[in-house]
């Protein structure tokens, strides 16, 4: 257990600065996820966690790993914990503010990780920093892609957690 915690700490210290450095400028984003004119980034958060997939039949009646939910912690560029990200998709700050988003646009990740997204805000709760958002961008993703093997009738209902990181840009 100590080895796992030490590895996670080392990974966090090494990866956080480089992950934030990779976030693209709004002007450089693919057209499918460019935010509306007038919106600007007011908060940047790195998500560190897992994309959760469940084994089951998909729309074409074949066995596959189907997306269930994200589960991640959110930290700022100085590694200060800001909150968490989970099903909804929901971003919940330690200050009590919570927003739920809906996908408005999607673009492939340049390195075959989970896609980059533009999300509208569907609902707000509380008065925290995240509730100021009019939109959220998920960019600079690493990992998180559904497994391609190991899902069949014998594994129905099982979950796979796939590590990912992403930079979330909160816009207002």
Q: Read off the pLDDT of each residue in 6-10 and give the average, rounded to a whole number.
A: 43
Kindly state the tokens that stand for 115. Answer: 């896609």
Residue range 20-34, pLDDT digits in tens: 657 899 999 999 999
Given a cut of 50, whether residue 3 has pLDDT beyond it is no
Does residue 6 carry a pLDDT above 70? no
User: What average pLDDT score do residues 7-23 get?
Assistant: 55
What Å distances lie between residue 79 and 16, 46, 126, CA to CA? 7, 9, 24
Q: Where are the beta strands (DSSP E) in 58-96?
A: 63-75, 81-86, 90-93
3-state SS class at 100? strand
Angle at CA of residue 83, ends 79 and 87, nearest 5°: 130
Q: What pLDDT is recorded for position 16?
A: 59
Cα distance between residue 132 and residue 46, in whole Å: 18
pLDDT digits over 65-117, tens only? 999 999 999 999 999 999 999 999 999 999 999 999 999 999 999 999 999 99
Q: What is the pLDDT of residue 4?
A: 38
Region 109-127: what's the mean pLDDT?
A: 97
pLDDT value at position 23? 87
CB atoms within 10 A of CB 141: 24
Write out 106-140 in H/E/C secondary structure.
EECCCCCCCCEEEEEEEEEECCCHHHHCCEEEEEE
Q: Across-strand partners of 167? A: 46, 139
Q: Quick one: pLDDT at residue 10?
A: 46
Q: What are the tens digits of pLDDT across the range 137-159?
A: 999 999 999 999 999 999 999 99
The encoded tokens of residue 46 equal 């790195």
- 89 upstream amide cis, omega within 30 of 0: yes
- Write down the residue that tokens 């009019």 correspond to: 134
């Amino acid at each position: 257990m100590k080895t796992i915690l030490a590895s996670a700490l080392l990974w966090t210290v090494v990866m956080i600065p480089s992950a934030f450095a990779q976030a693209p400028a709004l002007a450089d984003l693919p057209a499918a996820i460019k935010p509306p004119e007038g919106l600007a980034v007011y908060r940047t958060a790195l998500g560190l966690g897992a994309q959760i997939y469940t084994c089951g039949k998909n729309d074409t009646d074949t066995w596959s790993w189907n997306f269930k939910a994200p589960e991640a912690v959110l930290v700022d560029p100085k590694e200060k914990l800001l909150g968490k990200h989970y099903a909804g998709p929901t971003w919940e700050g330690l200050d009590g503010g919570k927003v739920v988003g809906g996908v408005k646009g999607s673009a492939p990740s340049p390195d075959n990780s989970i896609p980059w997204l533009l999300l509208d805000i569907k609902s707000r709760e509380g008065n925290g920093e995240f509730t100021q958002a009019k939109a959220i961008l998920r960019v600079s993703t690493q990992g998180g892609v559904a497994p391609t093997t190991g899902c069949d009738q014998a594994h129905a209902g099982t979950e796979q957690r796939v590590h990912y990181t992403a930079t979330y840009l909160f816009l207002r």
